[in-house]
Structure 1
Amino acid sequence: MRRFLLVWVLLIVITPGGLGAAPSSEQVHRIAVTDRGFVPQEVRVEPGRPVKLIFRRESANTCATSVQMPGVLAQAVPLPLKKDVAVQFTPREERRLRFGCGMNMMIHGEVLVGESSPSPESHEDSKGCGGCGH
């Protein structure tokens, strides 16, 4: 009996997360903000599962000092230089969610919810920011 109990306790201790740990269903994507725009410009996620986009502005030479995401964010979120900024949401249906610089000019990207093929527009170079002054 002691041997059985010892084996059981060891299994709990060496199992990642311990007893009752469920695998994380959160879909996490890191998006760098560079002088060339958002990298990657496109991420794919599954509907019905939580999403965490982690934006990190790596360059001061970009107008993307904030990010907006209509339908997800009520207002643009500041992107301080060299700091991670998380945007969390749970998409419910297949669709395309566009995110962009605070002025929504030319620097943009897309979250493809439940889509398997890339959009033709998403492969355009997003360098510069039109009327943003960069």
Structure 2
Amino acid sequence: MSSITQHSVEFSLSLPTTVTIRRELHSDRREQGILLHHRRAMRIGDISAKELVLWSTTAPMAVTVCVPAGSLIVWNVWRDNGAMHGLLGNAEIRTVELPDGGVLLECCDGHAPSASTDLRVELSFDPPLAQQA
């Protein structure tokens, strides 16, 4: 398993892909989420958008997203005083590649010390990323 720390994560999808996002941990200090961005609309059930935010307080523990081929960009966000923030201060994502082809994202919001984990989600891809090279 390799690990990389960055502000956002980009996945190159050569095929339409079903991405399942499972929230494993989140801090209660502030509302946190994962933002998904794509040039074309993604779909969760009846909802279709180019940007989707899965908030720790409202999204189910597991969410399935239908993503078109192309670049999927993911970063962590949080709310402070009613406003959404991301990519600020100590915000970072540690990406861990899992043996089953999934990816674990360990996120630190902009308030916590760098390298802490405030939100942890696992992404699995169907078809797997290894088959999309």
Flag the structure with more relative contact order, 1 or 2, with Cα contacts below 8 A and sequence separation at least 6. 2
For normalisation by structure 1, the TM-score amounts to 0.37
Question: Which structure carries more helix by proportion?
Answer: 1
